[in-house]
Amino acid sequence: MTSPVRVTARLDGDLSRGLWLVKWLLLVPHLVVLFFLWLAFPFVTFVALVAILFTGRYPRALFDFNLGVLRWTWRMWCYGYGALATDRYPPFSLEAEPDYPATLDIAYPEHLSRGLVLVKWWLLAIPHYLVIAFFAGGGGFVLWQWGQGWLGFDGGLVTLLSVFAGIALLFTGRYPGGIFDLVIGMNRWMLRVGAYAALMTDEYPPFRLDLGGSDPAAPEPIEPEARATGPTPARTAGVVVGVLLLLLGLGGAGGGGFLLWLEGQRDSAGYVATPATRYTEAGYALRFDTGDLTPIHDQPWADDLLGDVRVKVSTTDDQPVFAGIARTADVARYLDGVPHRRFDGYQDYRHMAATGSMMSHARPPGMPTGTDIWVASRSGTGTLTLDWTPQPGEWSLVVMNTRAQPAVAANIAFAATTPALRPVAIVTLSTGVVLLLGGSLLFVLALRPRRK
């Protein structure tokens, strides 16, 4: 009946009737900090996995940090909608806080199995994951909302029962004891599984609801003098900042590497091209506004970054097509009342742009070659190459049949010279590497063992 994970909770006797209605707002500061702590949690666990695999021991500094994150989460969860068992605001701390109504302790293992560490957190824990999905969320339930039909909710049984307890508290001033015992039992099950999945124990969690605030399956209390000192606030801040730098560094290094790879894809004319995409439209035209031609057209440095733009339009049959670039205002007047398909900012406005429900009643456009709005245009069969230097303002590309007939089909590829691509790639990659090194150093320093 013993377990290395000890979870306790105490139901306060003077709970406010209505405070639980605004606890979601009061918990925002905790959620912000815990967001970054939980970003660090998998990194710390992975480092611990490697250490256990080679040494059979969970590094004490890493163990204390993960235990601190679980303790903080449990206090916040018990105060909030995981139990609503106390109105005492949870402390911003990774320490044990034994006087708080919700406590969590995990006995430090002197030795852990090297083989189990590879399978227990995913394969062996799958049965428990399926069960606690109903506790924490994912099992779901269905309730009836007047006038809106069936509304699904996946908050989980714990949150559902806690809300029921809050409603009872609101109208009667009493928290049902049976709900408290059941909610804490389910939370205890989840925390045991969490500690097992975080590699903090080799003891398989029992399939058992130990109800009530006291933990009947807990080991002997750990003596205070034998308890490890938890991370200080400075170390906690170091871990949070270190993880943030690591994430930014990964993004910078990955983005810079991708840009360098893109630089190597230039064709013989010096253009970097996107893959050709097939576009079809039952209406009269395909229209691409500035958001697709030059996504950063409104920035003063766009010309240096993009350079010249090249559009390749390939016909899919022997029918000649027309491709032209003109100011968006002129194109809008030219296609006013004409069914067509419009793209802007990589969004498809096909249904919004089609202005006629029946093609037989739609207004056909004028012949494109007879219109003087184009600053660059090409027409014919095969592959049409349209070169254009971006200019200030809003511009659009129009692709249609040369005879202004419905049904358009073409393969279209966009390309640009992007003269600043290499410098941007080098700066982005270098910055990412520096952030990775800085984040790793700060992370290691924050989790290094303390001097006694």
Q: What HEC string does the chain produce?
A: CCCCEEEEECCCCCCCCCHHHCHHHHCHHHHHHHHHHHHHHHHHHHHHHHHHHHHCCCCHHHHHHHHHHHHHHHHHHHHCCCCCCCCCCCCCCCCCCCCCCEEEEECCCCCCCCCHHHCHHHHHCHHHHHHHHHHHCCCCEEEEECCCEEEEECCHHHHHHHHHHHHHHHHHCCCCHHHHHHHHHHHHHHHHHHHHHCCCCCCCCCCCCCCCCCCCCCCCCCCHHHCCCCCCHHHHHHHHHHHHHHHHHHHHHHHHHHHHHHHCCCCCCCCEECCCEEEEECCCEEEEEHHHHCCCCCCCCHHHHHCCEEEEEEECCCCCEEEEEEEHHHHHHHCCCCCEEEEECCEECHHHHCCCCCHHHCCCCCCHHHCCCEEEEEEECCEEEEEECCCCCCEEEEEEECCCCCCEEEEEEEEECCCCHHHHHHHHHHHHHHHHHHHHHHHHHHHCCCCC
**Quick one: 166 and 95 in the same domain?**
yes
Q: What is the pLDDT of residues 58-79, one digit of tens each?
A: 989 889 999 999 999 999 999 9
**Quick one: 55 and 85 in the same domain?**
yes
**Quick one: 243 and 126 in the same domain?**
no
**Quick one: 278 and 319 in the same domain?**
yes
Q: How confident is the model at residue 152 (pLDDT cuts 50, 70, 90)?
A: very low
**Quick one: 277 and 375 in the same domain?**
yes
**Quick one: 86 and 147 in the same domain?**
yes
Please determine, for residue 306, whether its predicted confidence score (pLDDT) is greater than 90: no
**Quick one: 261 and 319 in the same domain?**
no
**Quick one: 224 and 247 in the same domain?**
no
**Quick one: 87 and 170 in the same domain?**
yes
Q: Residue 443 has what pLDDT?
A: 73
Q: What is the pLDDT of residues 83-97, one digit of tens each?
A: 999 999 999 999 999
Query: Could you list the residue range(s) of the whole structural domain that residue 434 is in?
Result: 232-270+425-452
Q: Residue 355 has what pLDDT?
A: 41
**Quick one: 184 and 70 in the same domain?**
yes
Q: Residue 180 has what pLDDT?
A: 95
